[in-house]
Amino acid sequence: MGGPEFAIAIVSILIALILLSVPIVLALGLCSFFGIAYLTGNWSIAGSLLANTTYEAVRDYVFAVIPLFVLMGEFISKSGAAADVYSVINKSMKRLPGRLALATVGGNAVFGAVTGVSIASAAAFSRIAYPQMVRHGYDKSVALGSIAGSASLGMLIPPSILMIVWGVMSEQSIGKLFVAGVIPGLLLTAMFFTFIVGYAWLKPHLFGIGGSALTTIEADLDCLATRSELAGAFGVAILILTVLGGIWFGVFTPTEAAGIGVLLSLALALMKGVDFRGIREAILETGRISAPLLFLLITAQMYTRLLALGGIIDAIQAMLLGIGDSPVLILALMVLVWFVLGMFIDSVSIILLTVPIFAPLAITIGYDPIAFAIIGIVAIEAGLLTPPLGLCVYTVKSCVADPDATLAKIFMGSIPYWIILLLLVAIIATFPGLATWLPSQI
């Protein structure tokens, strides 16, 4: 049977396969299958577990939330509503230093409330905000950093694919996790705002203030928001109120809210003049994004069975607890693991790999499961901004045509943002009520 040696072997093989660029779904599926066959000494048990897991793992009403929230975000992206939100926020912030960077953060916060994937925000704002910031004399590293950094708001502010996956893996209410992300999301927005205003005040030249661009900036930006922009922003506001409000007040389950959200976002896209081709692209893109996620969930459940069967969870918990029994130390170790993994692989895979082990451990050492989920999501997002493979940074790079926008510049500009994210981790760990208070009210 299992034991510490088996745990170390399985985890080492998994990590080796993943670092060797084997798709994570294959690494998880094959390790679990052969691991279970080894433990039970019986191929047919492993085979029937594989067949059962494939058939049962995602065959549930709740899993429809994944493609549906992705589809909702795609419709909104196609409608150009992100640009409207950005523009309206920007025009409402006269005289604030660094207002274009602030509008990027604000736009991401609002956009995050209608999309479930960070990368969608990073892609949208790379195209909308970056050209404008460059035109107004922003330092390129500062501009790119603000886009990559504030994209992390998308995963913290509900709806969020990460929260859905976390909820599934740790058997928690997805609705509660969504609500738990609201206050930390707003707090993070405020922290990003404070940083940008302070930075722009200390080093105005990096934000295009004081240069020749100054004379044009006010004239260019201060014209009133157009009717179409206001309509787009209003549509997004209605969507947020319906989807999140519906979940909050218990009118809809998250799946139902996602279904209604798809319908409303389709209406908004059509109103904003998206043609049949755009709608078709949005639907196809949704399939492209969500099918691999569903497969990951299938193999991850197989992996969870292996973890349980092989006593791997107990073995790793014993190892971590052997290092020290201080909850703060253990939490710091877990945050470190997430942060490092975030440098190499995507956030959903990290959750699937670590949450089955970490979530029970967190409860053992006395952390609230909901606060712990938010801590985990923020820590993983921080990793997505760091070299060598931070995914948010790569997305921004692939969406910006400027050859001057190098990976090094984006990584440099993102540093303050992941520091702020880690700061938020510390704040929530100290005051878990920030995450748990709102869900306790519903």
Partner 1 sequence: MLTIDRLLEALSQMLKYLAACLLVLVAGLIALDVGMRVLFNAPILGVAEIVANGILIVAFLQVSYAVRIDGMLRSELMVARLSGRPKVVFECGAALLGALLFGLIAFASWDSMVRAIVVQEFEGHVSFPIPTWPVRVAIVGCSVLAVLNYLMIVAKALLFGRLDHVGRGAPM
1: contact with partner 1 by CB under 8 A: no
CB nearer partner 1, residue 244 or residue 371:
244
HSE (CB half, 13 Å, CA atoms) of 317? 17
Q: Residue type for 239, please? A: L
Q: Helix, strand, coil: what percent of the chain each, to 5?
A: 80, 0, 20
The rounded distance, in Å, linking the Cα atoms of 156 and 380 is 11
First to last CA, the chain: 44
Among the listed residues 132, 172, 189, 286, the single contact to partner 1 using CB under 8 A: 286
Q: Which stretch binds partner 1 (CB under 8 A): 63-71, 143-151, 321-329, 424-432?
A: 63-71
Q: Which stretch binds partner 1 (CB under 8 A): 46-54, 167-175, 182-190, 193-201?
A: 46-54
**Collapsing DSSP states into helix, strand and coil, what is residue 373?**
helix
249: contact with partner 1 by CB under 8 A: no
CB nearer partner 1, residue 205 or residue 280:
280
Long-range contacts of 222-231 (CB under 8 A, 24+ apart): 222/91, 222/94, 223/91, 224/91, 225/87, 225/88, 225/91, 225/92, 228/84, 228/272, 229/83, 229/84, 229/87, 229/88, 230/84, 230/88, 231/84, 231/271, 231/272
Contact map string, positions 298 to 327, toward partner 1, x by CB under 8 A: x-----------------------------
CB nearer partner 1, residue 341 or residue 382:
341
Contact map string, positions 69 to 98, toward partner 1, x by CB under 8 A: --x---------------------------
**Collapsing DSSP states into helix, strand and coil, what is residue 164?**
helix
The rounded distance, in Å, linking the Cα atoms of 236 and 402 is 30
CB nearer partner 1, residue 149 or residue 254:
254
60: contact with partner 1 by CB under 8 A: yes
CB nearer partner 1, residue 87 or residue 347:
347
406: contact with partner 1 by CB under 8 A: no
Number of residues that bind partner 1 (CB under 8 A): 64
Contact map string, positions 97 to 136, toward partner 1, x by CB under 8 A: --------------------x-x-----------------
Helix H or strand E encompassing 330? helix 327-342
Among the listed residues 104, 304, 349, 414, the single contact to partner 1 using CB under 8 A: 349
262: contact with partner 1 by CB under 8 A: yes
The rounded distance, in Å, linking the Cα atoms of 108 and 153 is 6
Q: Which stretch binds partner 1 (CB under 8 A): 151-159, 259-267, 331-339, 427-435?
A: 259-267
340: contact with partner 1 by CB under 8 A: no
The rounded distance, in Å, linking the Cα atoms of 434 and 285 is 35
Cβ partners under 8 Å of residue 8, min gap 6: 315
429: contact with partner 1 by CB under 8 A: no
Residue 53 and residue 301 in contact, taking contact as beta carbons nearer than 8 Å: yes
Query: What is the Rg, in whole angstroms, of the alpha carbon atoms belonging to the chain?
Result: 22
Q: Which stretch binds partner 1 (CB under 8 A): 28-36, 148-156, 361-369, 433-441?
A: 28-36
Q: Which stretch binds partner 1 (CB under 8 A): 354-362, 364-372, 388-396, 408-416?
A: 388-396
Among the listed residues 389, 412, 419, 423, the single contact to partner 1 using CB under 8 A: 389
295: contact with partner 1 by CB under 8 A: yes
The rounded distance, in Å, linking the Cα atoms of 113 and 312 is 37
Give the DSSP per-residue string, 113-159. Answer: TT-S-HHHHHHHHHHHHHHHHHHTTB-HHHHHHHHHHHTTHHHHSSS
Q: Which stretch binds partner 1 (CB under 8 A): 19-27, 171-179, 183-191, 221-229?
A: 19-27
- Residues in a beta bridge with 138: 207
Question: Of 99, 68, 69, 106, which Cα lies nearest the Cα of 84?
Answer: 106
Residue 254 and residue 442 in contact, taking contact as beta carbons nearer than 8 Å: no
In the complex, least distance from residue 70 CB atom to partner 1, rounded to whole angstroms = 9
CB nearer partner 1, residue 195 or residue 252:
252
The residue assigned the tokens 């594989």 is: 50
CB nearer partner 1, residue 141 or residue 265:
265
Which residue ranges make up the site for partner 1 (CB under 8 A)? 18-26, 29-30, 33, 47-48, 50-51, 54-55, 58-61, 63-64, 67-68, 71, 117, 119, 251-252, 255-256, 258-260, 262-263, 280, 283-284, 286-296, 298, 344-346, 348-349, 388-389, 391, 394-395, 398
